[in-house]
Structure 1
Amino acid sequence: MHVHARSAARARTAAIVETYTMQRSRMRQLLATELDVDVLLAAASLQEIVRWLRSTRRDAWPELVVVGIHDGVDPVRLRAVLVPLRAQDVRIMAVVGAPDRRDAPRPPAELFDGAAAVDDAETAFVETVRAVAAGRDAVTERARRTLERHAAAPRLSVQEERVLSLYASGMTIGAVAEAIGVREDTARVYLRRVRAKYRAVGQTASTKIDLARVAWRDGYLSSDAGSVRSREA
């Protein structure tokens, strides 16, 4: 469970990020009429909310963000938006759709305080938002099942994440070793461990194409293959 500095008070301001116009409009209406929440922004894209956040004082950021998660959402960009919000104790509520395919990008569920499914009843959506706004974790049963449909990801060490990110982005193993400051043999050991961990959870990671696919899906590689993510050591 996430602990928020502002958890004692109910969130009264919110922002919405939702691609689909009708869903975005209805979310805004429900937050305003059912929960008495002031919606400061209803954005159609991650880029739109990023621009708004950059132009807004942090003490004026919303206390709650409701974000629609669809297959087309880039997991790297999504993390880049959510992590700074979490650092400011903003509560995150996800509305998740079922993945259209097995290799769909995995939502960063560890950053969510709550989740509802796209096909949940409006009453379930409202009650889940109400709980998250009050500082409680809440996930509907349909959202839980939806999140579980995404293939399980292995737990990688910091160095394994860095090797996967860089190698999958197109670098040679020698260049990867130089970039992270280790010998090439050591980088190869990390790469073998990555492949073994993916095999252990039933996922193919034999070729560089396989690694690029799982790295993108699991949020280590941007869809433009030019942006990588790894944790700080």
Structure 2
Amino acid sequence: MRHRVGIVEDHESVVIGISAMLSDESDLELVATAPTVTELLALTTDLDLAVLDLRLADGSSPKSNVEALREVGIETLVFTGAENPFLVRSAARAGVLGVVRKSESRQTVIDAIRTAAGGGQVVTTEWAAAIDGDPGLLDVGLSPRQREVLELYASGEKAARVARLTGLAPQTVNDYLQRIRQKYAEVGRPAPTKTDLYKRALEDGWLPIPERPSER
């Protein structure tokens, strides 16, 4: 069976490298590449697997990217050089099949793509440690509306502005924020300040991770 693979990567050299790796693999066909998930899906949704970089230039979060791909039935394998555990956990939470570092050998990368394209899990020590070893992975169970308020407020908007953007009453926004803080505190992830809420939103993938060139 020949599996159809797409790449979401904004570094041309990485795309060329993966293309070369797969060129001699008769069961793996690279059919599309794009610098963002949106652009890949505009090209095709007929894929068995998307190989996704965690940090893209458009500022999108790993969680939102994986969810967008899974909505159209495309599974995801993360291929990254980043060491940021927040990014790995965010992608893992969204349901990726595995995480492979760009420093791995050619054969390891090919084997991982082949396994994931066939629907199998690609479990690495680093990925397992990032997921299982972090108590911050406890889900706070935010509703879609609470998530919307958190995203706006944690990104820098004032509560009054959040109320205008969401159509909620100012007191309702404050009630939401109080409940959000309570939920985080209940799972051992306190967020008493706006900065703390920003950190929690980053950890959970609700906001894009700021670009850190040194982690490339």
CA contact (8 A) 2:54 2:79 kept: yes
Percent identity of equivalent pairs: 24
What is the CA distance between 1:66 and its match in structure 2?
A: 0.7
The answer on whether the counterparts of 2:142 and 2:180 sit within 8 Å (CA) in structure 1 is no
Matched, 1:219 2:205: yes
User: Are positions 1:157 and 2:152 aligned together?
Assistant: no
What is the Cα deviation at residue 164 of structure 1? 0.8
Seen in structure 2, the aligned counterparts of structure 1 residues 221 and 134 have a Cα distance that, compared at 3 Å, is closer
The corresponding residue for 2:38 is 50
**Distance in structure 2 (CA, Å) of the matches to 1:31 and 1:116:** 15
- Tell me if structure 2 keeps the 8 A contact 1:31–1:38: yes
SS at match of 1:124: helix
Q: Distance in 2 between matches of 1:37 and 1:221?
A: 33
Q: Is the 8 A contact 1:68 1:94 kept in 2?
A: yes
Give me the whole-angstrom Cα distance separating, in 1, the residues matched to 2:165 and 2:57.
30
TM-score, normalization by structure 2: 0.72
- State which of 152, 155, 168 in structure 2 corresponds to 1:166: 152
User: In 2, distance between residues paired with 1:35 and 1:197?
Assistant: 50
2:128 is the alignment partner of 1:140: no
Query: How high is the TM-score relative to the length of structure 1?
Result: 0.68
Q: Which residue of 2 aligns with 1:33?
A: 24
- Give the 3-state SS of the residue equivalent to 1:108 in structure 2: helix
Residues 105 and 85 of structure 1: CA distance in aligned 2, closer, same or farther (over 3 Å): closer
1:209 corresponds to 2:195: yes
CA apart distance, 1:219 = 2.7
Secondary structure of the residue that 1:138 maps to in structure 2?
coil
Unaligned runs of 5+ in 1: 1-9, 225-233
- CA contact 1:82–1:111 (8 Å) conserved in 2: yes
* Aligned 8 A contact 2:2 2:29 in 1: no
Letter in 2 for 1:50: T
CA distance in 1, matches of 2:103, 2:183: 34
Equivalence for 2:7: 16
Change (3 A) 1:11 1:83: farther
RMSD: 3.5
Partner of 1:229: none
Deviation, structure 1 residue 32: 2.7
Give the superposition deviation at 1:37.
1.6
Query: For each residue in 1:9-34, what CA deviation from the matched residue of structure 2 results, as whole angstroms up to 9, or x when unmatched?
Result: x5522111234444433322222324
Which runs of structure 2 are paired with 1:174-213 in the superposition (5 Å)? Answer: 174-177=160-163, 179-180=165-166, 182-200=168-186, 203=189, 205-213=191-199
Q: What is the count of residue pairs matched by the alignment?
A: 207
Give me the whole-angstrom Cα distance separating, in 2, the residues matched to 1:119 and 1:202.
35
Q: Which amino acid aligns with 2:31?
A: L
